[in-house]
Amino acid sequence: MKTIGIIGGMSYHSTVEYYMGINNKVAEALGGHASAQIILDSINFQPIRDMQVAEAWDEAGQTLAGHGRRLEAAGADAVAIGTNLMHKVAPAVEAAIGVPLIHIADAVAAQASRAGIERLGVMGTSWVMRENFYTDRLASHGITGVKASDQDADLVDGIIWSELTRGVVTESARQKLVGVIERLGQAGAEAVLLGCTELDLSLSSDVSPLPVIDSTTSHIALLAEFVLG
């Protein structure tokens, strides 16, 4: 079994899902009392959030790179960033470590390809929905990211930061998010990407008008596959 190092805490609500999800898949695969070999570096999110708001991405990259090096030094065979948005600085982390970085967008693209999806509506924070660092990675796997309007990007971003990253889930916000999915479908999306690791707190295939590709569960599956060797 290999050891995975996770940079977590962004936010800690989704990090809990990573820890449980990887362990559950390893236990299911191996049986008995088996569990995953995980080194978790759960960091204080507030300084990272301050860097995001200030657009201090170089500083954020240096910070996460330091955590990646710490995980490698502790014995991690690969490193994962347990959030979508901070993959904006994934190149800085990759450059700083000598082990693989298992990228969340690669996991999403693999899941979409298995489902025969070529056009994927993107939901996440404003940076994920508006910028190209995520959709370019999807495009390298042949998946086209369908972007929402600026108004919908602001709507989703607001719900993520005011509610979901604080562990708050409301029905009114869920219905607004469903409306965004409907409009992504009208724009040509065949399925929707939950491109924030907190969006699955509110959305699921049971309430979505389009098929759902959940970034968290996709990433967990790829990380468990790595752990199992």
Q: What digits encode the pLDDT tens for the residues 59-104?
A: 999 999 999 999 999 999 999 999 999 999 999 999 999 999 999 9
Q: What is the pLDDT of residue 221?
A: 97
Rounded to whole angstroms, the Cα distance separating 13 from 171 reads 19
Instruction: Return the closest-CA partner of residue 13 out of 190, 141, 223, 202.
Output: 202
Region 104-215: CATH code: 3.40.50.1860
Mean pLDDT of 183-194: 97
Domain boundaries, the chain: 3-103+218-227, 104-215
Q: What is the pLDDT of residue 198?
A: 86
Q: Name the pLDDT band for 13 (thresholds 50, 70, 90).
A: confident
Catalogue the active-site residues. 83, 196
More confident residue, 225 or 199: 225
Rounded to whole angstroms, the Cα distance separating 102 from 4 reads 9
Kindly tell me if the per-residue pLDDT of 107 is higher than 90.
Answer: yes
Region 3-103+218-227: CATH code: 3.40.50.1860
Fold: same for 3-103+218-227 and 104-215: yes
Give tens-digit pLDDT for 118-160: 999 999 999 999 999 999 999 999 999 999 999 999 999 999 9
Is the pTM for the entire model greater than 0.85? Answer: yes
Q: What is the pLDDT of residue 120?
A: 98
